[in-house]
Amino acid sequence: MLHDKIMQLKKEKDAVILAHNYQLPEVQDVADYVGDSLGLSRQAAKTPHKTILFCGVHFMAETAAIICPDKKVLIPDLAAGCSLADSINVDQLRDWKQQHPGAITVGYVNTSAEVKSELDYCCTSSNAVNVVKAIPKDKDVLFLPDMFLGSYVAKMTGRKNMYIWAGECHVHAGIRSEDIHKLLDSNPNSELLVHPECSCTSQIMYDVAVGDYKNRQVQIMSTEGMMNYAKQSTGQNFVVATETGILYRMQQQNPEKNFIPASRGAICQYMKMITLDKVYSSLMEEKYEVRVPKQTADKARLAIDRMLAIN
């Protein structure tokens, strides 16, 4: 059985398998740790194993390679990219910085290593608000690349001097407020969990503020925040607005609760490119290694270390 062969290979190769919440269920099942970008970065930073097999998308494996220059970092499929990370390149960022001299640049972890090397701070959805709060109020902030997360952070921090790049994740951009309302109407006792990358986040915040959700619980949080909330809540039914891969782990951890995707079409084809066969081949042949040039990695590490230091 492939699952058992992978478990054996992990020991032989002294490898740890890290998997994102959006990975296929069978890939999550062979992972030593499943989580969001921040949690995966923290696990990579402290692993004693000599090889990290990263089941996620390319920028995540790059981040692990930057944090752990002494480790071998593998990704089972080099083509596993990210539409959000592709929405800005390093030349575009340099041009943007030139237009705003003295501004502090904050970049979502969903960016290439080259882009990270031009940042002052890296962040994830779980600590983006706190990262921006840590910046002096009189400093302009350039936030990239996700416009929906950026809009959410601007609202939560009350910043008026924040400029936001017009990038988006194609999966989260397709989750619409009106679809969520219909689902909640047909599941009246459900709580709503929303990822701040969703295009509907600002509308939902407005709807909550004007009372459209009445007394219903609405939580806007990272995927790991959703996981923790679902475990702790006394609620039984949840509408979940993010990529559908998270539902597998949610259901595993809370078998007595019900989880409904806000959009059944919210599937990231890049996350689903990694299969159990590819995980096995990657471990067996020690392919494909992700390397970041030392000069780029050294510059990017500063922004990532700042991210890891802020809860």
Alpha-carbon span 311 to 308, nearest angstrom = 7
- Locate tokens 């939902």: which residue? 204
Alpha-carbon span 165 to 154, nearest angstrom = 12
Residue 223 assigned to a binding site: yes
* pLDDT tens figures, 137-188: 999 999 999 999 999 999 999 999 999 999 999 999 999 988 898 899 898 8
Torsion of CA 129, 130, 136, 141, to 10 degrees: -30
Residue 195 assigned to a binding site: yes
Residue 240 assigned to a binding site: no
* pLDDT tens figures, 8-51: 999 999 999 999 999 999 999 999 999 988 789 889 999 999 99
Asked if the 2-80+271-293 domain carries CATH number 3.40.50.10800, the reply is yes
Residue 153 assigned to a binding site: no
Q: Hey, where are the domains in the chain?
A: 2-80+271-293, 85-168, 171-261
3-state secondary structure of 278: helix
Where does the pLDDT of residue 123 fall: very low under 50, low under 70, confident under 90, or very high at 90 and above? very high
- Residue 172 is given by DSSP the state H
- Residue 271 is given by DSSP the state G
Residue 110 assigned to a binding site: yes
Residue 49 assigned to a binding site: no
Evaluate if residue 107 carries a pLDDT over 80.
Answer: yes
Residue 21 assigned to a binding site: no
Alpha-carbon span 21 to 25, nearest angstrom = 9
Where does the pLDDT of residue 241 fall: very low under 50, low under 70, confident under 90, or very high at 90 and above? very high
Angle between the N-to-C axes of helices 294-309 and 37-46, in degrees from 0 to 180, rounded to the nearest 10: 110
Residue 169 assigned to a binding site: yes
Protein fold of 171-261: Rossmann fold (3.40.50)
* Sign (positive or negative) of CA dihedral 220, 86, 166, 141: positive
Residue 37 assigned to a binding site: yes
Evaluate if residue 131 carries a pLDDT over 90.
Answer: yes
On whether the CB atoms of residues 21 and 246 are closer than 8 A, the answer is yes
Residue 108 assigned to a binding site: yes
CATH number of 85-168: 3.40.50.10800
Residue 109 assigned to a binding site: yes
Residue 200 assigned to a binding site: no
Same fold, 2-80+271-293 and 171-261: yes
Residue 82 assigned to a binding site: yes
pTM: 0.91
Query: What would the mean pLDDT of 269-285 be, rounded to a whole number?
Result: 97
Alpha-carbon span 50 to 66, nearest angstrom = 14
